[in-house]
Structure 1
Amino acid sequence: MKTAELTQGAVTSPDGTEIGYYKTGRGPAVVILHGSMESARSHTLFAAALADEFTVYLPDRRGRGLSGPHRPDHGVATEVEDLNAVLTAAGAERAFGVSAGGAVVLEAARTCKNLKQIALYEPAIAADGAPHREWLTRFDQEVARGDLAGAMVTSMFGFEMAPAFLKVMPRGLLRWMTEKMMAKEERRAAAGTITMRQLAPTIHAEGTIVAELGGTFDKFRAVEADVLLMGGTKGLSGLKPGRATLEQVLPHVRRIEYDGYDHGSSSDPGGVNPTGTPDAVRRIAADVKAFFKQQ
């Protein structure tokens, strides 16, 4: 499966921050919004699968790659403004979002009526946002003292991403394993790769988004766009109840659950997605392409 041939561009968000993006393909515009611990280049395989019939835009969300930094009051509204700037420049009525990026796409569909079709893979809408605020103070303290491995462990438990066998391991051992994983990635990374160590500080904004949107399901009854709601049977357990609720409240929704797929199955394999496969990307992209072609 080939990756996409990408060109670069940028737009300016309402607060003056530059939001950079990659672009590929031809046809109607589609914007792909990546998730946590990812960047615009995390969906190059997915973009390539759409590029024969769609012009695909891959923006870097703030704090990553081609885009400017987070601001102190960063939240969902800022993310929606950034996305809407890209949608407007592209003339896009379609968007695909993953995890926290999926939550942003869904909120954009509620507040910005230019979106007609959205596809969401495991959108980070939790049943309750309160638990996702509790770990942010410790996370920020660890980042401030340069303990990025410790911060990543804190966020893993904060987001309820840790499998059962990790929950019984000493925290110090988990931190050591995480540091070794980051160092190994850096040794193998090609020039220009946005690594886990570089992405780690962006997790604060992801926690803020999940906390802000947690438990806000009823407001999504106002979404007029057609929605393709997707997830995997091995995805994040904390997000599964949210998908079930969204299926009930969204007026125009179709749901797909992929047997054996996990939270990263739509993203390029490697880095923080070691279990990813091109076959999984190809299958999800084919369903999204068919959905987008219905309009």
Structure 2
Amino acid sequence: MDKKTISRDGTSLAYESTGQGPALILVSGAMSTGRTVAPLAVPLSDRFRVVVYDRRGRGESGDTPPYAVKSEVEDLAALIEAVGGEAALCGISSGGALALQAAASGLPVRQVAVYEVPFAVYEGGAKERAEYTERLTEALEQGRRGDAVELFLRLTGMAEEMIQGARQSPMWPGMETIAPSLAYDDAVMGDGLVPRERLASITVPVLAVAGDASPSWMGEAARAIADAVPRGTYRSLEGQTHMVEPDVLGPVLAEFFGG
């Protein structure tokens, strides 16, 4: 990341931008940094100034305890100010929940697109989230970062043998490094249910996208987001999973943000 800006509480935020045009900020999800979503900037940078950044507590950005979702909204406010005073937002997974929160908070946002925000639409979803929050909090308080990562991977539905394989991979130490930020994404997700009242207050256009190869509840959650906002649109991408291909999602985003 070649640029820095400072959030309201003094936290240093690392970011970089590519391309020319209206500003578009990409917001990463759990266990991710700006580098994770950077490939999505490639198909968008011919029409937009695409900004990627490390959310607080990960990558090259700083952190200032105690954590609050409001602080991450203020981070986006600082980034928007740094890139011209107005921007569109695109959030991936739980980063989409943060992008929607920012829009509902009245930040100068033109449009919002989100991909597979993992809000629960199934019976027991809130209970599952509460149990995850309790166990995650305990693991992090006890310094068991590896266990915290395992909890998150199980929440995503990863098979046990794959989790144990991940523990032996070269990527595992890096995952443990940013494990404390799992609590931040958990806070952003709230009780895990679609926040319909908050979404109803968003006045800008919102695009909610899901892949049709993902679990069906992902698509249902995206539809629920689109239905809850006054100016919402839902799109399904053929053959895509939660690990969406940038060259597939990119053109859909370019059409929406360029409209």
TM-score for the superposition, normalised by structure 1? 0.78
Corresponding residue of 1:269: none
Corresponding residue of 2:164: 176
CA apart distance, 1:20: 1.4
Does 2:63 correspond to 1:79? no
Does 2:5 correspond to 1:19? no
Which whole-Å CA distance do the structure 2 matches of 1:70 and 1:235 have between them?
A: 35
Instruction: Answer yes or no: is the 8 Å Cα contact 1:153–1:178 preserved in 2.
Output: no
Give, as a single letter, the amino acid of the residue that structure 1 aligns with 2:117.
P
Which secondary structure does the structure 1 equivalent of 2:233 belong to? strand
Which whole-Å CA distance do the structure 2 matches of 1:130 and 1:71 have between them?
A: 27
Which secondary structure does the structure 2 equivalent of 1:176 belong to? helix
Give, as a single letter, the amino acid of the residue that structure 2 aligns with 1:82.
D
Aligned pair in 2 of structure 1 residues 153, 174: CA closer, same or farther (>3 Å)? farther
Does 2:111 correspond to 1:117? yes
Residues 80-95 of structure 1 correspond to what in structure 2 (within 5 A)? 80-91=73-84, 92-95=86-89
CA apart distance, 1:249: 1.6
CA apart distance, 1:63: 0.8
CA apart distance, 1:13: 1.1
Give, as a single letter, the amino acid of the residue that structure 2 aligns with 1:162.
G
* Cα deviations by residue, 1:116-171 (Å, 9 ceiling, x for unpaired): 211111124334545323223433443455543322221233x3x215xx3xx5xx
Of 63-72 and 209-218, deviating more is 209-218
CA apart distance, 1:241: 3.2
Corresponding residue of 1:271: none
Which whole-Å CA distance do the structure 2 matches of 1:47 and 1:175 have between them?
A: 29
Which whole-Å CA distance do the structure 2 matches of 1:284 and 1:174 have between them?
A: 27
Superposition RMSD on alpha carbons, in Å? 2.4
* Cα deviations by residue, 1:22-61 (Å, 9 ceiling, x for unpaired): 1111121111111111100112221121112211111110
Give, as a single letter, the amino acid of the residue that structure 2 aligns with 1:286.
P
Give, as a single letter, the amino acid of the residue that structure 2 aligns with 1:256.
R
Corresponding residue of 2:44: 50
Corresponding residue of 1:148: 145
Which whole-Å CA distance do the structure 2 matches of 1:223 and 1:208 have between them?
A: 20
Which whole-Å CA distance do the structure 1 matches of 2:200 and 2:130 have between them?
A: 25
Give the unaligned 5+ runs of structure 1.
Answer: 1-6, 187-193, 266-279
Corresponding residue of 1:289: 254
Does 2:132 correspond to 1:138? no
Which secondary structure does the structure 1 equivalent of 2:109 belong to? coil
Which whole-Å CA distance do the structure 2 matches of 1:23 and 1:93 have between them?
A: 13
Corresponding residue of 1:162: 157
Match of 1:235 among 198, 203, 214: 214
Does 2:240 correspond to 1:264? no
Give the unaligned 5+ runs of structure 2.
Answer: none
Instruction: Answer yes or no: is the 8 Å Cα contact 1:129–1:210 preserved in 2.
Output: no
Which whole-Å CA distance do the structure 2 matches of 1:216 and 1:282 have between them?
A: 30
Residues 25-40 of structure 1 correspond to what in structure 2 (within 5 A)? 25-40=19-34
CA apart distance, 1:281: 0.8
Give, as a single letter, the amino acid of the residue that structure 2 aligns with 1:262.
T
Which whole-Å CA distance do the structure 1 matches of 2:104 and 2:140 have between them?
A: 33
CA apart distance, 1:174: 6.2
Give, as a single letter, the amino acid of the residue that structure 2 aligns with 1:37.
M
TM-score for the superposition, normalised by structure 2? 0.88
Which whole-Å CA distance do the structure 1 matches of 2:73 and 2:38 have between them?
A: 22
